[in-house]
Chain A
Amino acid sequence: MSDIKEKVKAYLLNELHLPVKAEELNDATPLLSSRLIDSISALLLVEFLEKNFGIQFQPHEVNNDNLDSLDLIETFVRGKQ
């Protein structure tokens, strides 16, 4: 697993307390569309990504297309860096 995904996964499990075990959460696990992450946690995740990876979300970029799995998050973060 890449560095970005590792950091995000740790944040999801340890800070946002996602109700899943680490082994249940893989790179493609749907996060928002499955409601594992609620809307407030999604926004906390956006703040975490901005702070830790030096990127900035535009308002329309906060959506499932960019945040729904570890894979999508990594793609978005790399595209912005």
Chain B
Amino acid sequence: MGPWRTQLEAALKQNPAHTALMDLKGQSCTFGQLDLWSAAIRDTIPAFAPGARMAVCLPKTISSVASIFGIIRCGGAYVPVDYDAPGSRSLYILRDARVEVLITTPERAKAWMDELDADQCLKVDAGDASLAVLQLSWRGLSPVEAPSDLAYILYTSGSTGFPKGVMITEDNAWCFIDWAARTFSLSGQDVVSSLAPFHFDLSVFDLYAGLFSGATVVLIDAAEARNPLLLAEVIDRFGVTVWYATPTTLKMMLRFGRMERYAHDTLRVVLFAGEVFPTEPLHALMTRWPQAGFHNLYGPTETNVCTWYSLPKLPEPGRTAPYPIGSPCPYATCYLLSEEGIYPALPGREGELLVGGRSVMAGYLQQPERNAGAFTWHHGEKCYHTGDIVRVDERGELIYVSRKDRMVKRHGYRIELGEVEAALHRHPDITEAGVIAVAGPSDEWRIHAFYSTRTGEPLGAMALQDFLGQHLPAYMLPDQTELMGELPKTSTHKIDYPALQRTP
């Protein structure tokens, strides 16, 4: 048993009376209770083979953490499924991963019972919540191959219209957790925010670096995380010391959070990741929280955090360019791929960032072709193609330049524009669809969808959003939809995206 599992056991036993989790609705539990509840879930899970995938589809509550820990403690790999996502997407993920166990609410278990053809449905009490544990066998589907030391699978947006499962092994996860806990000196004195949903990779820091260090973690659900007035108040209410959020969330807090009402003097570490933080609001936040250290963490889900940059204590006067994504974490190696070949990340170079080292994923589940394109072997090391173009400044720090492909990030979430197009194509009246991202007024990406219909008549904006909402999670829904008689094409009859960008 590696440190991923042994450290969890140790953390649960070390300080049983200390508060492990709190939420904004007034629920809380100690490490001792979390130990008991996750053990109850572990003991309910039926026998399985090593590397078995087990899904958790629950609202973000204490019992969802107990469920994830129950899965880790019994030796399984967890697959977090967004409780609020469209059913078709969630069911696709359960099937794609061939999960052998699903832990969910009794209501959801009932709703999906027929679709899933469960072998049995067990009940377990974890604290104040009663959960359903379904055993699934996927008769008639080919089995999938996954490493026996798999820790979890996170599904991210896929350009073909289906999400893809990123397989993270125990060591992939552990090297980051161990580094992060040491680097930010986490301890039982800390109160760590948990803003990210568990299907998003930022949650790995909150749950494991936080709880493995004996810190108290404050669970903030998706609706609460969209309310900056509440977030600004929560820091003081719980005495949060470590706050990890996307730049979008931090910008919203600054703009709408009524920050002047609060002291926020407990904050000592502010971490951000997932997208570029424009310098002006970042400086404003640094000025508001002068006692806190600010750190930019970078890394796609496939490599977890692989580079980081600690910002200077005071904003650099006159700086307008975004701060660097920094230098490689000790477990990661970075190379740059350009037309000339693969080179070490040395000052003056620019190219696609390739990442090797201990944190690089095992691969995408069930995607041999995609895996062949995702990795390059360099000097005997498996390196992941991030698709991010970076350059190295004179001090050797990596600077993010742009994306290579049609992926954008919004609120820290990855959106493959092709997945949005694929959802539009599912509509029976839509004959063509083209989706672009355009920069909004405060630097955020806005998704514009263009389509043509069989009849030439527009689809009602609300009806179309409603339809798309059945196939896409909310963060992928277009901000604007527009009917065109015919979409512009290139000479090779492909959709002319630059022409769409020029559409007023």
Task: Spell out A's residues near B (CB within 8 Å).
Answer: 19-20, 24, 29, 34-36, 38-40, 42-43, 46-47, 57, 59-60, 62-64
Please tell me if B469 contacts chain A, counting CB pairs below 8 Å.
yes
Check A63/B227 contact, CB under 8 A, given A19-B481, A35-B469: yes
Check A34/B256 contact, CB under 8 A, given A63-B223, A63-B227, A64-B223: no
How many Å lie between the Cα of A64 and that of B256 in the bound state? 17
Check A57/B460 contact, CB under 8 A, given A36-B465, A38-B479: no
Among the interface residues B228, B462, B474, which one has the most CB atoms of the partner chain A within 10 A? B462
Q: Please, which residues of chain A bring their CB within 8 A of the CB of B477?
A: 35
A–B complex contacts, Cβ < 8 Å, 26 sampled? A19-B461, A19-B481, A24-B460, A24-B461, A24-B462, A29-B462, A34-B465, A34-B469, A35-B469, A35-B474, A35-B477, A36-B462, A38-B479, A39-B226, A40-B252, A42-B226, A43-B228, A43-B255, A43-B256, A47-B256, A59-B232, A59-B233, A62-B227, A62-B230, A63-B227, A64-B223
How many Å lie between the Cα of A46 and that of B230 in the bound state? 13
Q: Mark B250-280, 1 if CB is under 8 A from A, else 0.
A: 0010011000000000000000000000000
Q: Please, which residues of chain B bring their CB within 8 A of the CB of A43?
A: 228, 252, 255-256
> Interface majority SS on B: helix, strand, loop or mixed?
helix
CB nearest to A39 among chain B residues:
B226
| Chain A nearest Cβ from B483, distance in angstroms | 12
Q: Mark B190-229, 1 if CB is under 8 A from A, else 0.
A: 0000000000000000000000000000000001001111
Task: Spell out B's residues near A (CB within 8 Å).
Answer: 223, 226-230, 232-233, 252, 255-256, 460-462, 465-466, 469, 474, 477, 479-481
| Chain B nearest Cβ from A61, distance in angstroms | 9
CB nearest to A30 among chain B residues:
B462
Q: Please, which residues of chain A bring their CB within 8 A of the CB of B460?
A: 24
How many Å lie between the Cα of A29 and that of B73 in the bound state? 46
| Chain B nearest Cβ from A72, distance in angstroms | 15
Check A34/B462 contact, CB under 8 A, given A19-B480, A19-B481: yes
CB nearest to B481 among chain A residues:
A19
| Chain A nearest Cβ from B258, distance in angstroms | 8
Q: Please, which residues of chain B bring their CB within 8 A of the CB of A59?
A: 227, 229-230, 232-233
How many Å lie between the Cα of A40 and that of B411 in the bound state? 11
CB nearest to B479 among chain A residues:
A38
Contact among A20, A38, A46, A57 for B462, CB-based, below 8 A: A20
Q: Please, which residues of chain B bring their CB within 8 A of the CB of A64?
A: 223
Check A57/B229 contact, CB under 8 A, given A19-B461, A43-B256: yes
Q: Please, which residues of chain A bring their CB within 8 A of the CB of B223?
A: 63-64
How many Å lie between the Cα of A23 and that of B223 in the bound state? 29
